[in-house]
A and B are shown apart, each in its own frame.
Chain A
Amino acid sequence: MTTFSQVLSEVAMLLSGPDPDLIEIVGLSLRVSVTATVLACLIGLPLGALLAIRPFPGRGLCTLLINTLMGMPPVVLGLMVYLLLSRSGPMGFLQLLYTPTAMIIAQFALVLPIVAALTRQQVEDSWKDYCDPMHSLCVPTTSAVQTLLWDNRLSLLTAALAGFSRAISEVGAVIIVGGNIDHLTRVMTTAIVLETSKGDLPLALALGVVLMTIALIINALVFSSKGKLA
């Protein structure tokens, strides 16, 4: 039976010497999930804000759709991206399947609805107070979006973190479109799945501890930067 002392000694092993394989895996995890989250924020933040402040026909339906997409199972999304990027798929010519780029695309699609939906809710709530003053000042929509995003920056940072957490912790999508190829597309979560399938449960759990430690560090960095943003 796997004991916690076994796990702890594995963690100590992993963290004691700078194992180049582990560093590579952690690096790729961060690279893929951070890039996906940044891209998702670039589109999701203004999209969510627009949904909140700009009435148009079908807005309710859009909101419903985005809120529902938050619950998209990563495996399903992974399959959809796989079919798209497969050499026999409509975008096979891009030769992107089993690359980090494919993983970024899949995680981008997972994170986008989360960022957009949380942004929409947050901006809609504060729009109640901003609506009249913004109209009074004749602020154009694009500037209003910028103003609301900036003024809600602390809440939206949390939305971005929620998106990042989804990306860094999911395995279903990246294992399908990345293929868990050693030294190419292996990330923390797919490595955990692999070690579990090899029956090396202490190592799998130790990798999980490392993943959570990295998540903790990133959250702490963001948390400490909140003071400067306020």
Chain B
Amino acid sequence: MLPLQIRQLAVCIDNKALLHNIDLTLADKGVSILMGHNGAGKSLLLRCMHGLIEPAAGSLQWAGIHATDINSRHRQAMVFQKPLMLNRSVAGNILYVLKLRNKPKDRLQQHLQTAELESQSRQSARSLSGGEQQRLAIARALACEPEVLFLDEPTANLDPEATQKIESQIHHATGKSIKVIMVTHDVAQARRIADDVVFIHKGAITEHTKAKTFFTTPESKQAHDYLAAYVKPV
């Protein structure tokens, strides 16, 4: 469903323009990362891309289809910052989506496997650890068999081992040529998995560059300062 084309997008909440003059084109597969300070509007832009928020102005289209159109949203899946665990078993959480999307039930095992949750399949989802919950949320999103996967800070507050497992799930997704668009604060992680980076500052995009370029020679001063703060020796 690529490319995603955003033209002169603005989003207002309570009469405040939280996103403005957004122009962006995402044409390539792989992992696109949205970076920026807290409150810059990264999560908001992610929601707009997924069609959950109607923009105040401008246009946002997936291969020419409006983002809020149900036909484009059906081909996407999103994992929110605080993933929702349905009050049922681990398997029940994935079966819920398989049933909703009319997918065969026997794909359950394969999704559990990718998420490394086979042994917990009958356990209550809400009794899982933070990392396991996040993996289940991603597995559930992948059970939709989307073409685009949105991830909102999937590894916030996770230890390195749990983070590594999530990243391998992401890797698995891109291997199936699913486009991943993800918000993260973790610069090291972004370096590991990003193909391109979009930097947002105070509701506007300051740059969109290939990952290699971004981490060595960022174009915008804001991105430069952000990275500098991160690598500053302790």
Q: Do chains A and B touch in the complex (CB under 8 A)?
A: yes
Mark interface residues in B63-88 (1 if CB within 8 Å of A CB, else 0): 00000001001100110101010111
Chain A contacts with B in 116-140, Cβ cutoff 8 A: 129-130, 132-133, 135-139
- Name the contact of B74 in the complex, choosing from A133, A138, A143, A147 (C-beta under 8 A): A138
Q: Report Cα–Cα, A153/B144, bound state, in Å.
A: 26
Knowing A137-B97, A230-B124, the reply to whether A151 touches B73 (Cβ < 8 A) is no
Chain A residues near B124 (CB-CB < 8 A): 230
Chain A contacts with B in 2-16, Cβ cutoff 8 A: none
Closest B residue by C-beta to A143: B100
Question: Do A151 and B97 touch across chains, with their CB atoms under 8 A apart?
Answer: no
Chain A residues near B86 (CB-CB < 8 A): 147, 151
Chain B residues near A150 (CB-CB < 8 A): 87-88
Q: Report Cα–Cα, A230/B88, bound state, in Å.
A: 8
Chain A residues near B74 (CB-CB < 8 A): 138
Closest B residue by C-beta to A147: B86
Question: Do A130 and B84 touch across chains, with their CB atoms under 8 A apart?
Answer: yes
Knowing A138-B70, A138-B73, A139-B100, the reply to whether A132 touches B52 (Cβ < 8 A) is yes
Knowing A129-B84, A147-B86, A151-B88, the reply to whether A137 touches B100 (Cβ < 8 A) is yes
The answer, yes or no, to whether A165 is at the interface (CB within 8 Å) is no
Closest A residue by C-beta to B99: A143
15 A-B pairs with CB atoms under 8 Å apart are A129-B82, A130-B84, A132-B52, A132-B80, A136-B50, A136-B77, A136-B78, A137-B77, A138-B70, A143-B100, A147-B86, A150-B88, A151-B86, A151-B88, A152-B87
The 7 A-B pairs of least Cβ separation, nearest first, read: A151-B87, A133-B84, A136-B78, A129-B84, A132-B80, A135-B52, A151-B86
6 more CB-based (< 8 A) A-B contacts, given A136-B77, A136-B78, A138-B74: A132-B80, A132-B84, A133-B84, A135-B52, A139-B100, A147-B86
Chain A residues with a Cβ under 8 A of chain B = 129-130, 132-133, 135-139, 143, 147, 150-153, 230
